[in-house]
């Protein structure tokens, strides 16, 4: 009898190699997103940005995914035309947006380069530099969120039933590695503003390298799909599905999914926008330098790099995903309470925030396979990311407006109290949705609390 060939995703070495490859794409994605958080004061000094301008720059990332629903559309496209074409398209947008952003901050552009004159002809209250950087941030956000959806579906394709939560935990770890590197390297490279454009261009070049990495992945994915196998389930899982808007309503009609989505938007809105302002917050409240503040802020991604894979490993084998989300949300609330109402140094709260930011993602993202058919997983993740981006658009902008309103006259030391109260309120909402999710799981018997490796 002819020996049956195994699908290449059953090779552990190749599966983990694929994870490293797509993990690099995530790392450079997050590096570029977070590279600007330690450069806030330098951007204000170099380009006369206000706090509101900076908040607008951070939030512009989420506009295509919030108002144009591009993460949803990207997820639908992913389910319809597959990983390779969808991934290349959106990773390209990500790289194009990164290059545009770096160009907008460059001396070449500022000295009257291509499109500088055009950018002066409208919205005179905003500088040409800010407008070009906003355009770049728009394209970067357009590509970046759907590229994360693509990576999520890649992990489901290669790891379903084989350490999926661990793979998602490592995926989160790779993203946090990019954040950690950005917080550590950006202020050093910028050198108090002398090399600001160098720091931004390096971030853009790394994203372009991510595009090349995805091209390499496409070769492996094509081999996966073309390989002769007698495993009908493998073939069935890779067939493109026809899309119907009924799929979207079916997904949204699942109350457990809705609670996870609401937890997602409140939880991430209490972390990422805070992270964008954290270095400046630490500098103003505790008197740290930009480099010291960046290093303290980098404790969060450093902690998540270690804890998220560990929690993913445990969830694969022990379950308790909804319980993990409750404890993570509770820890997030405690962290913002400590920041807002005590003078405790930020080292311990940042590590605790890293633990919270490990528990919730390690449990939340892989739990989707319990709620949604795999042929709709791209749409489901796309919906999640669009809902999440509503918060990632609104709260950085709101935080900047609050800072300008509560700190008139551009003071040397900025009071962040009202912002921290806002983030704590989001943490409290997230805790409520996590509790509701656990109750819904008991009623609906989705098995969210069961181990992911359970057949």
Lowest-confidence segment of 9-18, 129-138, 344-353 by average pLDDT: 9-18
Summarised one tens digit per residue, pLDDT across range 381-437 is 888 888 888 888 888 888 888 888 888 766 666 778 888 999 999 999 999 999 999
State mean pLDDT over 236-248: 56
pLDDT at 326 over 90: yes
Give per-residue pLDDT as tens, 204-237. Answer: 999 999 999 999 999 988 887 776 444 444 444 4
Note the pLDDT tens digit of each residue in 54-64.
Answer: 888 888 888 88
Give the burial string for 286-317 (b: 16+ CB within 10 Å, else e).
Answer: eebebbebbbbbbbbbbbbbebbbebbbbbbe
Average pLDDT over residues 27-55: 86
Task: Identify the band that residue 2 occupies on the pLDDT scale cut at 50, 70 and 90.
Answer: very low
Count: domains in the chain: 1
Q: Which residue has the higher pLDDT, 74 or 234?
A: 74
Would residue 15 count as lying in a domain? yes
Share of the chain above pLDDT 90, in %: 29
Q: How confident is the model at residue 3 (pLDDT cuts 50, 70, 90)?
A: very low
pLDDT category, 334, cuts 50, 70, 90? very high
The answer to whether residue 172 sits within a structural domain is yes
For residues 233 and 18, the model is more confident at 18
Residue 413 belongs to some domain of the structure: yes
Domain containing 345: what range? 11-444
Let me know if residue 453 belongs to a domain.
no
Helices 347-364, 299-318: inter-axial angle, 10-degree rounding: 40
Q: Over 50: is that where the pLDDT of 4 sits? A: no
Give me the pLDDT at residue 324, please: 93
* 360 within some domain: yes
For position 176, what pLDDT does the model report? 82
Q: Per the domain annotation, does 449 fall within a domain?
A: no
Residue with tokens 């050198």, as numbered in its chain: 191
Classify residue 350: in a domain, yes or no. Answer: yes
Give me the pLDDT at residue 213, please.
95
Most confident of the following: 109-123, 320-334, 404-418 = 320-334
Q: What is the mean pLDDT of residues 436-454?
A: 80
Mean pLDDT of the chain: 84
What would the mean pLDDT of 178-200 be, rounded to a whole number? 87
> Which pLDDT band holds residue 5 (cuts at 50, 70, 90)?
very low
- Cβ(353)–Cβ(340) below 8 Å: no
Give the model's pLDDT for residue 6.
54
**The domain spanning residue 298 has which CATH number?**
1.20.1250.20
For the chain, percent of residues with pLDDT exceeding 70: 91
More confident residue, 339 or 67: 339
Task: For the full predicted model, state whether its pTM sits above 0.85.
Answer: no
| Residue 395 located in a structural domain | yes
């Amino acid at each position: 009898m002819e020996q049956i060939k195994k699908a290449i995703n059953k090779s552990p070495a190749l599966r983990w190699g694929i994870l490293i490859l797509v993990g690099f794409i995530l790392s450079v994605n997050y590096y570029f997103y977070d590279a600007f958080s330690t450069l806030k004061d330098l951007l204000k000094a170099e380009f006369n940005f206000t706090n509101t301008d900076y908040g607008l720059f951070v939030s512009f990332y989420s506009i295509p995914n919030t108002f144009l629903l591009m993460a949803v559309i990207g997820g639908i496209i992913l389910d319809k035309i597959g990983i390779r074409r969808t991934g290349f398209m959106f990773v390209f947008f990500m790289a194009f947006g990164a290059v545009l952003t770096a160009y907008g901050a460059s001396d070449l552009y500022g000295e009257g380069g291509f499109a500088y004159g055009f950018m002066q002809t409208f919205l005179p209250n905003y500088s040409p530099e800010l407008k070009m950087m906003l355009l770049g941030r728009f394209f970067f956000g357009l590509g970046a969120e759907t590229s994360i959806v693509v990576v999520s579906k890649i992990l489901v394709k290669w790891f379903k039933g084989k350490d999926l939560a661990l793979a998602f935990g490592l995926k989160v770890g790779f993203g946090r590695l990019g954040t950690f590197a950005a917080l550590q390297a950006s202020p050093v490279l910028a050198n108090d503003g002398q090399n600001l454009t160098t720091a931004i261009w390096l971030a853009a070049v790394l994203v372009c390298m991510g595009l090349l990495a995805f091209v390499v992945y496409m070769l492996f994915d094509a081999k996966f799909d073309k390989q002769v196998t007698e495993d009908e389930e493998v073939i069935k899982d890779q067939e493109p599905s026809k899309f119907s808007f009924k799929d979207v309503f079916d997904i949204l009609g699942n109350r457990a999914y809705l609670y996870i989505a609401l937890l997602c938007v409140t939880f991430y809105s209490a972390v990422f926008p805070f992270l964008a302002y954290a270095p400046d917050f630490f500098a103003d409240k505790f008197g740290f330098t930009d480099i010291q503040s960046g290093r303290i802020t980098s404790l969060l991604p450093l902690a998540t790099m270690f804890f998220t894979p560990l929690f993913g490993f445990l969830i694969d084998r022990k379950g308790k995903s909804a319980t993990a989300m409750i404890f993570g949300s509770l820890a997030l609330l405690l962290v913002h309470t400590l920041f807002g109402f005590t003078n405790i140094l930020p080292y311990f709260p940042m590590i605790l925030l890293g633990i919270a930011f490990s528990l919730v993602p390690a449990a939340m993202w892989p739990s989707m396979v319990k709620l949604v058919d795999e042929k709709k997983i791209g749409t489901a993740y796309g919906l999640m990311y669009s809902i999440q981006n509503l918060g990632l658009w609104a709260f950085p902008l709101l935080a900047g407006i609050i800072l300008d309103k509560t700190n008139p006259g551009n003071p040397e030391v900025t009071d962040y109290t009202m912002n921290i109260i806002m983030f704590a309120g989001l943490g409290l909402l997230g805790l409520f949705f996590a509790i509701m999710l656990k109750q819904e799981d008991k009623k609906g018997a989705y098995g969210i609390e069961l181990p992911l490796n359970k057949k």
